[in-house]
Amino acid sequence: MEIEAAATDRSKPSNWGAATETDRDAPYTGFDRGSFLAWQDLRVVLPNFGKGPTKRLLNGLNGYAEPGRIMAIMGPSGSGKSTLLDALAGRLSKNVVMTGNVLLNGKKKGLGYGGVAYVTQEDVLLGTLTVKETVSYSAHLRLPTSMSKEEVNSLIDGTIIEMGLQDCADRLIGNWHLRGISGGEKKRLSIALEILTMPRLLFLDEPTSGLDSASAFFVVQTLRNVARDGRTVISSIHQPSSEVFALFDDLFLLSGGETVYFGEAKSAIEFFAEAGFPCPRKRNPSDHFLRCINSDFDIVTATLKGSQRIHDVPNSADPFANLATAEIKSMLVEKYGRSTHARRAKNRIQELSTDEGLQPSTQHGSEASWWKQLSTLTKRSFVNMCRDVGYYWLRIIIYIIVSICVGTVYFDIGYSYTSILARGACGAFISGFMTFMSIGGFPSFIEEMKVFYRERLNGYYGVAAYILANFLSSFPFLVAIALTSSTITYNMVKFRPGISHFVFFTINIYSCISVIESLMMVVASLVPNFLMGIITGAGIIGIMMMTSGFFRLLSDLPKPVWRYPISYISYGSWAIQGAYKNDLLGLEFDPLIPGDPKLNGEYVITHMLGIELNHSKWWDLAALFVILIGYRLLFFTVLKLKERASPLFQTLYAKRTIQQLEKRPSFRKMPSFPSQRHQPLHSLSSQDGLDSPLQ
């Protein structure tokens, strides 16, 4: 079905550019492009197998969304608005179970990756790109390769203008060290990325949170324009200002997972008035609605009374001054159930669900070819690495400084007896400590991973394309790092002369740094936050250094565990063996006691450094490359497993839960369930992370 839909779209490629232009002028008329979304008896529960009751997040909701209209899902925090949005978009988290129907154009839909345009609450963008670049990379990643350059460009420009981003099109988005565009612009950019492929259905999670009134107004106004183009826009929203609220067509008011009101936003005022809670004149209707149904106000009033401040509780004309919000809420829910709004909604849903004639419009992820994705990603990633000072440039500087330090400490090392150990130590320091510095790029990599996760979730490209693109784009930088640091140290320390020895030395450093990079990638994909990532990474590197054969000779390492297998897995042991062989073989050193015969390199390596000479240094290098590829494959597997395993797990879990639920006749209701979104446990890096402790 998906393929079919894609094929029909591709068969008329000329519509892509042209349709947008004509669409804008002509008012929306037909039903041909629209998406009708209806949901019936939608229930979401968070099961709890242990002690404690099962939580109902949504409780039998009915509703629908039509093309050309913009719907607001409103409610106090913890009322289930995000859950509803996730349920409709097919993005519910793994630990909840949904029952009921979600019908897209009368058909049950299965939305997977890339199934739906969903703008999340946080704007995950690459801070080093300009607005226009971001949009155009995204377009190249996803639009079909068959589209001509002009069409793509006009689509990009059209989208930028549509979202009102033309003024900041050439400005950087900004990250922790670059000042960039404002929050409202970021949000509009996120929306622009989602509407690039002309989705018929657009979901937004609190698009105005954290914005000031003008920016919020701007965002919602553009959303309204998007809707007027015949798209169906559904957005959750938290405390809209008066102007913003006036822009919404439909309103879905939730409290405690139940429908308080569903219908036209304008008729809501009437509904509340009829229910006995008229909105006072100088009030924002949405504030009034939330005031009526937000049970937190009960707690506030109770606490205020408790703190002996009753004399100053405002004596406003609130009809609910002496009525608990919980009561108001249940009155409203009941009233809504009997109202014409509910009946009308039911009829309309019936109509929509039986209407089979409509073409099911399926969204799909990227239509660009794999090569196109790879080249675009590589280019984008390279631009990002170039512009982000923290990604590689800072490290190159640190490497140069450290190399100069190493170079001066071991300056002109010579051939005396003590230089044997010094050469060894120098090699170990370079391959051990200097590669350790690669951890410095970890934060930037984490930022990039966030973008990857978002885009992956939206189905922009595949895992393989991403990994390969990352490898290709980082290649020049890693080579630059390896080349500068090896040139400095090699020439200052005066390692064994000869061009092939220099080349080996450089490649050895390059592969060490690449291995660490790949190792940190694997760590990043496994570990929840930044700090844990650094600690884990440092720990692993520490253990590898210990078993590398410098701190304890390889022959002296305890056989179980440390020698087999760890010293073979450790990149350090291969790197050091290679470096020793490269440097020492063929040299002669002064003996400990003057007058004794000179020590040759072979003797030093086998007897003093405990390394066997049964394979050449190039084999050691090959082993490093094998490890490098191994880590990349591991990274690939981890990402794939995370994606594959979770849906499978989810189905099993859902089945089991439903069985469990059938055994229980009823489950108790929880008063209020704190939403995960409003108190997120941020990773440390995003939380404060890069702020100054003292400035």
Residues 147-206 touching another protein, rule: CB under 8 A, are 161-164, 166-167, 176, 179, 182
Burial of 153 (0-12, 13-18, 19+ CB in 10 A): middle
Helices 617-663 and 463-493 pack at an angle, to 10 degrees, of 150
CA atoms within 13 A on the CB side of 416: 6
Query: What type of residue sits at position 127?
Result: G
Question: Can residue 594 be called a binding residue for another protein (CB under 8 A)?
Answer: no
Question: Can residue 238 be called a binding residue for another protein (CB under 8 A)?
Answer: yes
Query: CB within 8 A of 594, min separation 6: which ones?
Result: none
Which among 253-261, 469-477, 555-563, 634-642 is the span making contact with another protein, rule CB under 8 A? Answer: 555-563
> What does the chain come to in residues?
695
CB of 335 to another protein, least distance (A): 20
CB of 296 to another protein, least distance (A): 3
Site for another protein in 79-98 (CB under 8 A): none
Site for another protein in 442-481 (CB under 8 A): 443
Per the CB < 8 A criterion, the answer to whether 12 and 623 are in contact is no
CB of 1 to another protein, least distance (A): 34
Nearer to another protein, 343 or 607 (CB): 607
Bridge partners, residue 162, by sequence: none
Question: Can residue 397 be called a binding residue for another protein (CB under 8 A)?
Answer: no
CB of 244 to another protein, least distance (A): 9
CA distance 56 to 347: 26
CB of 269 to another protein, least distance (A): 7
Question: Can residue 494 be called a binding residue for another protein (CB under 8 A)?
Answer: no
User: What three-state secondary structure class fits 98?
Assistant: strand
Query: What type of residue sits at position 48?
Result: N
Query: What type of residue sits at position 458?
Result: N
CB of 179 to another protein, least distance (A): 6
Pull the structure tokens for residue 532.
């844990």
Site for another protein in 287-316 (CB under 8 A): 287-288, 290-291, 294, 296-297, 299-300, 303-304, 306-309, 312-314, 316
Question: Can residue 603 be called a binding residue for another protein (CB under 8 A)?
Answer: no
CB of 606 to another protein, least distance (A): 13
Query: Residue 239 phi/psi, 5° resolution?
Result: 50, 65
Question: Can residue 335 be called a binding residue for another protein (CB under 8 A)?
Answer: no
CA distance 144 to 251: 36
CB of 159 to another protein, least distance (A): 10
Residue owning tokens 């006995």:
276
Which among 56-64, 189-197, 346-354, 416-424 is the span making contact with another protein, rule CB under 8 A? Answer: 416-424
CA distance 341 to 337: 8
> What are the C-alpha distances in Å from 275 to residues 123, 298, 327, 334?
39, 20, 12, 10
Residue owning tokens 């309204």:
224
Bridge partners, residue 38, by sequence: 64, 103
Nearer to another protein, 100 or 440 (CB): 440
Which among 87-95, 240-248, 478-486, 498-506 is the span making contact with another protein, rule CB under 8 A? Answer: 240-248
Q: How many residues bind another protein (CB under 8 A)?
A: 115
Q: Which of 8, 213, 359, 637 binds another protein (CB under 8 A)?
A: 213
CB of 455 to another protein, least distance (A): 25
Which among 113-121, 363-371, 548-556, 575-583 is the span making contact with another protein, rule CB under 8 A? Answer: 548-556
CA distance 299 to 236: 25
Per the CB < 8 A criterion, the answer to whether 225 and 62 are in contact is no
CB of 550 to another protein, least distance (A): 7
Which of 363, 365, 364 has the alpha carbon at shortest distance from 35? Answer: 363
Nearer to another protein, 102 or 268 (CB): 268
Site for another protein in 10-49 (CB under 8 A): 24
Question: Can residue 436 be called a binding residue for another protein (CB under 8 A)?
Answer: yes
CB of 673 to another protein, least distance (A): 14
Nearer to another protein, 645 or 690 (CB): 690
CB of 146 to another protein, least distance (A): 28
Residue owning tokens 């391959």:
431
Bridge partners, residue 250, by sequence: 71, 264
Q: Which of 56, 81, 228, 677 binds another protein (CB under 8 A)?
A: 228
Query: What type of residue sits at position 631?
Result: Y
Q: Which of 76, 144, 462, 601 binds another protein (CB under 8 A)?
A: 76
Per the CB < 8 A criterion, the answer to whether 76 and 689 are in contact is no
CA distance 209 to 204: 11
Other beta carbons less than 10 A from residue 231's beta carbon: 25
CB of 182 to another protein, least distance (A): 7
Nearer to another protein, 308 or 651 (CB): 308
Q: Which of 543, 569, 638, 661 binds another protein (CB under 8 A)?
A: 543
Nearer to another protein, 116 or 247 (CB): 247
Bridge partners, residue 202, by sequence: 117, 233
Site for another protein in 506-535 (CB under 8 A): 531, 534-535
CB of 337 to another protein, least distance (A): 25
Query: Which alpha helices (DSSP H) does 307-439 contain, by range?
Result: 325-338, 340-354, 370-387, 394-409, 417-429, 435-436
Site for another protein in 627-656 (CB under 8 A): none
Per the CB < 8 A criterion, the answer to whether 207 and 244 are in contact is no
Question: Can residue 568 be called a binding residue for another protein (CB under 8 A)?
Answer: no
Nearer to another protein, 89 or 576 (CB): 576
Q: Which of 32, 212, 596, 643 binds another protein (CB under 8 A)?
A: 212
Which of 441, 424, 443, 440 has the alpha carbon at shortest distance from 432? Answer: 424
CB of 534 to another protein, least distance (A): 7
Which among 36-44, 143-151, 439-447, 448-456 is the span making contact with another protein, rule CB under 8 A? Answer: 439-447
Nearer to another protein, 352 or 605 (CB): 605
660 conformational bin, left if phi > 0, alpha if psi -120 to 50, beta if neither: alpha
Residue owning tokens 């154009």:
105
Which of 656, 660, 571 has the alpha carbon at shortest distance from 94? Answer: 656
Pull the structure tokens for residue 44.
């979401």
CA distance 144 to 554: 55
Site for another protein in 106-125 (CB under 8 A): none
> Would you give the binding string for another protein spanning residues 337-376, x where CB under 8 A is met?
----------------------------------------
Which among 110-118, 218-226, 335-343, 375-383 is the span making contact with another protein, rule CB under 8 A? Answer: 218-226
Other beta carbons less than 10 A from residue 186's beta carbon: 23
CB of 415 to another protein, least distance (A): 13
